[in-house]
A and B are shown apart, each in its own frame.
Chain A
Amino acid sequence: MSVIAIYILVLIIATFVAIIVTLLVIRKIIASRSIKSNERLYDFFADRFSYVLALGEDIPLGAIRKSFLEMVRKSRGTGRYSRQRKREIARRVILNMSDEIIGENRERLSQIYDALGFADDAIKELKDKRWWRQADAIRELQTMHSTKAVGSIITLLSDKSEEVRLLAFEAVVEIDGVSSLPILVDLLRDLTRWTAINLSRIILEYKNEAAPYILSLVKHKDRSVELFAIQMLGIIRWVNAVPSLIEIAEKGMTQEVVEAIHALGSIGDERAIPVCVSKLASRNSEVRAAAASALGKFGAPSSVESLIPLLDDKAVDVRLSAAEAISRCGERGMSALETAFLNGTENVAAAARYILDEVDLVSISRSIVGNF
């Protein structure tokens, strides 16, 4: 009995799978057959829209809408599915055209997209429960610069899907410009590196325009946002941020201090040298390494004396950062490093030699290090 039960179960599963595979194959056959017909329709709509664009604003949007509805109604196939397919192809034509054109024509195309009701359709899609449908709609509205969609897209900035949140952020900035940043950045929280990568790309398009808004985030209640803002200020290299970054480097928590020092090093403003020098004596090795590294970026010969004691630091990362920093401080630094290599303790000599080798793999290793 049990054998028969298993046998039946196996057959049921096999039949179920066979049906799925068959349906997939049938779907593929139907899809391939409709490709040609879709291509003809695509060309038809592409011709019409190009013609309309060529005429400029001579044709009112109402007339275009009327004519479009007529085209959809009259051409072959009048069923609901057929009408939907034609609308879909027309929408695809507009989206593809918008990628290829600029200026007034692009604006006109956006107006046509809106007049034909595609913007409203996409706004409705923003409420879909499936995140990928929402994401598609956001991307479409962004492509068409649909200003009427901005309010609806902003509501998605707190969506549970990271993809949706990111696309919404990008879309609002692109449609509404940098002025929307204060509202957007206020909604940021729990940033992952992936989000940071995407946000930084968007922000970097506006650089100095965006910098004041980013500066306002260095005291954000969410730590991930705070760290992101500090790092971004270093990447943007906004000199006006130096006083705030110095304050964080002096009073912040360890991670914030490390990032602030790195940012100050990237900006390269001399006002930051004293705080970096003072942080060489920090009890935290990460802070000491960051301070050494930042001083290296300044390349100030005056900081060589402060860096030399760190060649004998107990943490290997600090020793190497200090050696590298010294090597960047001109002739005075290189000479100090060579002396450290020749006369220093084992740790000092090792760190110095490592960097000397790095600095000039061929000439230094032959002329100074030899075959040691």
Chain B
Amino acid sequence: MANTWAFLATFYDYFVLIYFFVIDFTYLFLLVVALREILLYLRKNRFVNYQHILQSEFATPISILAPAYNEETNIIESIQSLMMLNYAKYEIVVINDGSKDGTLKKLIDFFQLKKLSYVYNVSIPTKPVHGIYRSPLPAYNRLVVIDKENGGKADALNAGINVAKYPLVCSIDADSLLEQDALLKVVKPFLENPRRMVATGGIVRIVNGCTVERGNVTDIRLSKKWIPTFQVVEYLRAFLSGRMGWTAMNGLLVISGAFGLFRKSALIEVGGYNTNTVGEDMELVVRLHKFMHREKRDYRIGFVPDPVCWTEAPESVRNLSRQRNRWHRGLIDTLRIHKDLFFNPKYGVVGMMSFPYFALFELIGPIIEATGIIFVTISFILGNVNFPFFAMFLVLAIVYGVFLSVGAVLLEEYSFHRYPRPLDLFRLLLFSVIENFGYRQMTAWWRVKAFYDYFRGVKSWGAMTRVGFEKKNEAKV
């Protein structure tokens, strides 16, 4: 019996080692592909003058959809920031999703909104709409506010799609800030490939620590707090390495809900956002892939590394754990809903590569990581594995983690160089190393716990306390 246990333990140890090797190799592959793509993007960008889009009548107009639920802290700054975007023709559709705080009142008071009649074309069914508001002030004539019964973010976005009058819709979080040229940059793939392009996403960066003035990020620096800084490293790894790599193969499965541009007709064709999942952003992209493959259409879903959406990251462990729990529940749900894609050659790269990657590495990775560390360490203490094996495991589990994070930070420094202060770069590199000693394991644990919550039927988003962009500055001063 003891021998059987020892055999199983050794088998699992080897399995974990091979698993880490494969996962590390995959990440390395994505990093290399991403580097190539970013270099190509930068080269192309040298010859692009975005002002041409700004002044052209050929630029495709965009409807920005900003769902808001209890966002009274940030909502005015966010909309003011959206009003200042550089783009030829766009409208801003704010959807108040039955907020319980003073979001709607704040909007009505500040923009002097008037309730109007509106021809509400129900392309996608949603919860009832109470009213549609517009501002009589010429400065805010791009703004449309929808007040509706609470139905969740996905339902709010669907209501926005119904009201949007332009062919491209840009979904953003109401608590995010877009850089002024973000729309110009994120729309370019649609202009270059108008027939094929279905969706594009921009990079999401963390605003904590930066200076925000009138809805604009004027001074970029790292937060002095640990938790947001760890997230900066994570975001760089996820966006610059992961998403850029998958874009090169047309296998991108996630466009962040904080900043994504979609062809409206495609969204209507697939029935809009799924209101029964907490991972509606990923679920939508997977469904778009599935639909396009089924219809045998030539299409592309891509990521643009340059247009920036600034978002407020959780600053407390409690809020961060809730966010990660929700993200992982969303991932579990999406992969469960579309399990028929798993190693299905009918769906090309998505079926054979990106979907299995998300299922085997992103989904169950935290479980293997958490149990692997415990198993291999105990096996080493008990003498079941020798030192070279244990050392190898540490190299694969820790050193490679360090390498990949440092790689992503260097990629950022080499390409976009958004953190000009040497001290910030040093801190980023330092955090790339130390995140592998505790932080990564902590997030893995939250993701393991998400399995328990998911199968228990938890559907909540979990509240997140927001400080507000401008208030952050006051606190800093």
Where the two chains meet, the residues of A that have a C-beta atom closer than 8 Å to any C-beta of B are 3-4, 6-7, 10, 13-14, 17, 21, 24, 132, 135, 139, 162-163, 167, 192-194, 196-198, 200-201, 231, 235, 316, 319-320, 350-351, 353-354, 357, 361-362, 365, 369, 372
Contact = CB atoms under 8 A, between A and B. Distances in A.
B384 to A, nearest CB: 14
B403 A198 contact: no
B390 to A, nearest CB: 10
Contacts of B188: 194
B136 A353 contact: no
A135 B56 contact: no
Interface of A is mostly: helix
Given A196-B58, A365-B114, A316 B194 contact: no
Interface of B is mostly: helix
Given A139-B47, A198-B52, A361 B403 contact: no
Contacts of B134: 357, 361
A17 B403 contact: yes
B285 interface: no
A7 B116 contact: no
Interface stretch (B102-110, B247-255, B391-399): B391-399
Given A21-B410, A192-B193, A361 B57 contact: no
Contacts of B443: none
25 contacts: A4-B388, A10-B400, A14-B399, A14-B403, A24-B414, A132-B46, A162-B192, A192-B191, A193-B58, A193-B190, A193-B194, A197-B53, A197-B191, A201-B55, A231-B58, A316-B121, A320-B119, A350-B117, A357-B116, A357-B117, A361-B114, A361-B116, A365-B114, A365-B116, A372-B117
B403 A163 contact: no
Interface residues of B, number: 41
Given A17-B403, A162-B192, A361-B136, A197 B58 contact: yes
B191 A194 contact: yes
Contacts of A369: 117
Nearest to B406: A21
A132 B43 contact: yes
B17 A6 contact: yes
Contacts of B17: 3, 6
Contacts of B119: 316, 319-320, 350-351, 354
Nearest to A365: B114
- Which of B53, B55, B117, B388 has its CB near the most chain A CB atoms (within 10 A)? B117
Contacts of B59: 193, 197
Nearest to B44: A163
B223 interface: no
B28 interface: yes
Interface string B21-63: 1000000100000000000000110110000110111111000
Contacts of B190: 193
B191 A135 contact: no
A362 B58 contact: no
A200 B395 contact: no
A21 B28 CA distance: 15
A235 B59 CA distance: 13
Given A135-B47, A353-B117, A192 B57 contact: no
B5 interface: no
A362 B28 CA distance: 59
A6 B58 CA distance: 55
A231 B56 CA distance: 12
Contacts of A362: 114, 136
Contacts of A162: 192
B389 interface: yes
A167 B58 contact: no
The 9 A-B pairs of least Cβ separation, nearest first, read A361-B136, A194-B191, A193-B191, A197-B56, A353-B117, A194-B192, A357-B116, A362-B136, A196-B58
Given A194-B188, A197-B52, A197-B191, A7 B388 contact: yes
Contacts of B193: 192
Contact of A354 (B118, B191, B407): B118
Contacts of B399: 14
A17 B402 CA distance: 13
Contacts of A3: 17, 388-389, 392
A201 B194 contact: no
- Which of B47, B53, B134, B192 has its CB near the most chain A CB atoms (within 10 A)? B47
Interface string B403-435: 100010010001000000000000000000000
